[in-house]
Copies of this chain bind each other. A is one copy, B any other.
Amino acid sequence: MQQSVVERIKTSCTVVNVNKDAFHFLTDEQKELVESRQVTVAFKKGEIIAKQGTFTTHMLVLSEGLAKVYYEEDNKTLILRIAAPGSLIGLTSLPQNNNVFQYTASAYINTTVKLIELEIIKKLALENGRFALALIDILCEISIQKNGRFFCLSHRQSYGKLADIILCLAGNIFKKSDFEFALSRKELAELSGMSTESVIRTLKHFQEDGLIKITGKHFEVIDPEGLQKICQLG
């Protein structure tokens, strides 16, 4: 299958974290243990999957849907990433002294997650080096992605931030240049760290410049290279 243009575009701050499958390194016996103990839970759009500050007994594996992972403080929120199928939530609570969720996760759309006890994860990491190394890999990936997003939100200005988010959505979530967009303007604003009004004005600008086309909820990226250029300029 050929990659579309939007998928090939590299953005500095992908908000979506691509997760590898660590479980694939488990032995059949270990896989069975995980499967025998795991529980699947479905969340409706808008529901909170995990709340920052509550005790983490289980790690979550997002199996279907899309979740917003965000950090909360003083009534302000910072979206850390969008969790897509395969993403792990709650891995950072593995250390004994951080056994609460370090962020909140809520469902953008209807979402199902599998719950696996952290104690089992810890046990498996201890006895299976390849699995442990895979977890390390995932944590490294998340760290690298976060650096890019951090840079983008703190060093670019509105045009660059929004262009980046649009490319991320097209290239990493929907994986095509046109898509029905489920998120509100307010949520787009939250993602790009700007006000709703600024998002609207900037989107309008992008349309006038022929970079994107919006018809109701339908988004189309017309000039990905142009958007990428805006990302880089600031």
Interface residues of A, Cβ cutoff 8 Å to B: 12, 71, 73-74, 76, 78, 80, 91-95, 98, 102-103, 122, 125-130, 132-133, 135-137, 139-144, 146-151, 153-155, 193, 232, 234
**Closest residue of B by beta carbon distance from A141:** B95
CA distance A221 to B145 in the complex (A): 35
Given A95-B137, A98-B140, A143-B143: 19 more A-B contacts, CB < 8 Å: A12-B73, A71-B147, A71-B148, A74-B232, A91-B140, A93-B140, A94-B133, A94-B140, A95-B136, A98-B141, A102-B143, A102-B147, A103-B147, A122-B133, A126-B133, A132-B132, A135-B136, A143-B146, A154-B193
Known pairs A132-B125, A133-B132; A140 contacts B78 (CB<8 A): no
Q: Most B CB atoms within 10 A — which of A12, A73, A142?
A: A73
Q: Are A78 and B154 closer than 8 Å at their CB atoms?
A: yes
* A92: contacting residue among B140, B193, B232, CB under 8 A: B140
CA distance A64 to B139 in the complex (A): 27
